[in-house]
Structure 1
Amino acid sequence: MRIAYFDCFSGISGDMCLGALVDAGVPLKKLREGLNALHLVSYEIRRQKVKRGAISATRIEVIVKKGEPTRRLADISTIIGDSDLPPNIKKRGLRIFGRLFQAERKVHGGRLKDLHLHELSATDCIIDIIGTLLCLDILGTREVISSPLNLGGGTVSSEHGLLPVPTPATSQLLKGKPVFSTGIQKELTTPTGAAIITETATSFGHFPEMTVDSTGNGAGGHILKEQPNILRVFIGDKTIKPHNGHHKGGSNELVSVIETNIDDMNPQVYEYLMERLFNEGALDVFLSTVIMKKSRPGILLQVLAYPASRERLIDILFEETPTLGIRFHETERVCLEREIKKIDTEFGSVRFKVVTTDGYRKAVPEYEDCRRIAEKTGLSLIDVMKMLKS
């Protein structure tokens, strides 16, 4: 499974994220093409190779034209919602901005819809956040892991006056996350960086077992005398212990199993719930009838997902069901490599799921195509499937 590990020994910010991921192999042209989906024209992206200490790094700067307006959460939601970005990028981008504005509301008060935060809602912040999500997508990462975050120290100027480091908003965003400071009197972890990493990272800790394919160094704006001001990222495949059983042509991958027992929910809700879970990254959702305490009949709801999707799927379960507790664990699964191919048949072009392993080839027609043919020809669905398999 493709993962990204962020080494935040010198903190994290939006521009450092972009620099590290571009340095790790994201073509700048491809990033620009992806950002064009936002339909923003008042900025340009500049890349520069720089030195931070003795280390070479990529510095990404978003240059915004003067006179850009401050934006409220509703304005940013409209920009992202009306864009041509992929649905998953839209959703994650909106969640990150939601985190930022909620943190500022808790610190400074006021109504969420009335907040207009120059530092957090300017065009460069939108580019940093959406650009980071696009880069992770371009690199094919399914999970992000982060080291503990170096916060820095001292004070920083803002619209609200002089603030201590970490700023109150950053402190709100990093609740429950591992942090530290080496005493450097600079803001090393910014609110934007904190919001990005708390949304994307599934865990925080030591370097994971992985096979590293590429690395990237993203340069921060400060020149530090104590250490290189860079964010390091490592891209590669997570190392999974070999499966004890014998399987041909299969590959192991790590998945999360999320489950909860429910005995007091209207059954009509399950259809809507399953749609939401699938839309947010669930690989599979299934329901089993169980007998619970006091001999109550209930439902065991289980969700299979990649670890990167786990936290938001748990949030959905708490939002949409009356459950008060959710269990999860990570496990391995073995999947045969497969691809979708269009094959010419007596019914025209039909999509088949094709599996090839150790010389063995199996092709299964896609259900939706079989259904379409059955409805068009009047043949039974079973007969259509048999004819296509023969």
Structure 2
Amino acid sequence: MNGSVTTAFFDCHSGISGDMTLGALIDLGAQTGQIDAAAIETGVRSMGLPEIAIRSEMVKKNGFRAVKVHIEHPPEHAHRHLHHITEMIDRADQISEEAKQLAHRIFRRLAEAEAKVHGSTIEKVHFHEVGAIDSIADIVGTAIAMEALGIKAVATSPVPTGSGKITIAHGLVSVPAPATAELLKGIPIAASDIQAELTTPTGAAILKATATHFGNMPAMTLAAVGYGAGSKDLSEQANVLRVLLGEAEGGDAESIGAVESDRVVVLETNIDDCSPEQLADCARRLLSAGALDVFQTPCVMKKGRSGVVLTAVSPNSSVAVLEQIIFAHSTSIGIRRYSVDRHKLQRKVETVETAYGPVRGKLVILPKGEPRFSIEDDDAAALAESHQTTAQEIRIAAEQAWRSLTQS
């Protein structure tokens, strides 16, 4: 379906938390007239929390206005499991089904992360900080507000986590907290030297459950800009989350995120005294160690000799390892490295069954949502040899099998 899609872009310059998110959405609601703190309070109270109060106020953070949310409730010491929170959400009669499903999705992301870091299961893991009433109100309130604002697609900038150490229910840990780090897998991280926890598990879970586009703000017509205040006062910058609400044209909710963005590091070195065999071995080792891509470009070196530029594209986490491989397995004596933004199509590996056997292929989604299927050449070559036919014949059979699947 073509047309405009209501899109929210999370500008996480100072990280993201549950109260910052809810504050920014309430600010957007005040501008558009679609939601306010009182309506969110009504929905959260219907979860069996009649004594909760949600209050918002305008504050200043380093000179910038922002909405600060206060969750007020009687003291409690409950440690809830996922099923407790699920039951609370399900029994709420003042929350729409769409908002309930989003709240469920956010809490499930949290449970998966907590289970992973504690070596447990999502059924057995119990929430500490994020199981408290204020965190429940932040998450469910966010779901209510996003549904009321009609948000169908979410994009986010790279996320700073902060640095240093914090104390949680399990003791002293480094920033980002273990669950936060687990939730941020696949989301671009922005460097930050600020000694504070800028991104909390709740904030990370909201992005994990909603965002499909990472990097720069997508093209859209802005309707409103909301600011949510964090609890800390930072000397370096305003501790606020900015959420920009607008209409993205020419797509649907799925295709807004069809072109994903992330940030990678490019490593490159000029070489003119290394054998082709050694370079090929180095490239193989780089790919095995986690390089996203490796290639060689012919060049003429400064003394007029023919050489190559060896280039490796690396995720941030693999830079040190890949540099060591280049130094150890080529004749390089220096490596240039620089960070770049990368746009990429969504993709996944699919296997189709043919008369010759299973063939793997790469399924990518084009910007307007159309699928494209490409056969893995190694599979085609191996099957062609075993069946004494051509690789082209295998490709034709695999493409026909894929078309049959999409038409069925």
Is 122-131 or 5-14 further displaced after alignment?
122-131
Q: Structure 1's 226 and 33: CA in aligned 2 closer, same or farther, altered over 3 A?
A: same
Match of 2:124 among 110, 114, 117: 114
Residue by residue over 1:230-263, the C-alpha shift from the partner in whole angstroms, topping out at 9 and shown as x without a partner, is 00001111144xxxxxxxxxxx7565499xxxxx
How far does residue 90 in structure 1 lie from its aligned partner after superposition? 2.0
Match of 2:368 in 1: 331
The whole-number CA distance in structure 2 between the counterparts of 1:32 and 1:24 is 16
Say if 2:58 and 2:65, in contact at 8 Å, map to a contact too: yes
Say if 2:11 and 2:157, in contact at 8 Å, map to a contact too: yes
Please state if 1:208 is matched with 2:223. no
Aligned residues: 265
Say if 2:213 and 2:256, in contact at 8 Å, map to a contact too: no
Match of 1:340 in 2: none
The whole-number CA distance in structure 1 between the counterparts of 2:58 and 2:206 is 24
The whole-number CA distance in structure 2 between the counterparts of 1:206 and 1:156 is 30
Match of 1:230 in 2: 240
Match of 1:38 in 2: 47
Q: Structure 1's 257 and 48: CA in aligned 2 closer, same or farther, altered over 3 A?
A: closer
Match of 2:110 among 100, 116, 128: 100
Match of 1:386 in 2: none
Match of 2:79 in 1: 70
Say if 1:100 and 1:195, in contact at 8 Å, map to a contact too: yes
Q: TM-score normalized by structure 1?
A: 0.63
Please state if 1:144 is matched with 2:154. yes
The whole-number CA distance in structure 1 between the counterparts of 2:143 and 2:158 is 20
> For residue 10 of structure 2, what is the amino acid of its counterpart?
F
Match of 2:138 in 1: 128
> For residue 366 of structure 2, what is the amino acid of its counterpart?
H
Residue by residue over 1:214-242, the C-alpha shift from the partner in whole angstroms, topping out at 9 and shown as x without a partner, is 111100000000000000001111144xx
Secondary structure of 1:62's partner?
strand
The whole-number CA distance in structure 1 between the counterparts of 2:147 and 2:171 is 37
Match of 1:360 in 2: none
The whole-number CA distance in structure 1 between the counterparts of 2:159 and 2:129 is 21
Match of 1:171 in 2: 181
The whole-number CA distance in structure 2 between the counterparts of 1:325 and 1:127 is 41
Match of 2:355 in 1: 294
Please state if 1:81 is matched with 2:93. no
The whole-number CA distance in structure 2 between the counterparts of 1:104 and 1:332 is 33
> For residue 2 of structure 1, what is the amino acid of its counterpart?
T
How far does residue 43 in structure 1 lie from its aligned partner after superposition? 1.9
Say if 1:153 and 1:181, in contact at 8 Å, map to a contact too: no
**Where in structure 2 are there 5+ consecutive unaligned residues?**
30-34, 258-351, 371-408
**Where in structure 1 are there 5+ consecutive unaligned residues?**
241-251, 259-290, 297-322, 334-390
Say if 1:15 and 1:220, in contact at 8 Å, map to a contact too: yes
Is 85-94 or 123-132 further displaced after alignment?
85-94
> For residue 18 of structure 1, what is the amino acid of its counterpart?
L
Please state if 1:23 is matched with 2:27. yes
Please state if 1:183 is matched with 2:193. yes
Alignment of 1:232-381 (within 5 A): 232-240=242-250, 255-256=254-255, 293-294=354-355, 326-331=363-368
Match of 2:65 among 37, 56, 63: 56
CA-based RMSD: 2.6
The whole-number CA distance in structure 2 between the counterparts of 1:89 and 1:330 is 27
Say if 2:45 and 2:51, in contact at 8 Å, map to a contact too: no
Q: Structure 1's 253 and 159: CA in aligned 2 closer, same or farther, altered over 3 A?
A: closer
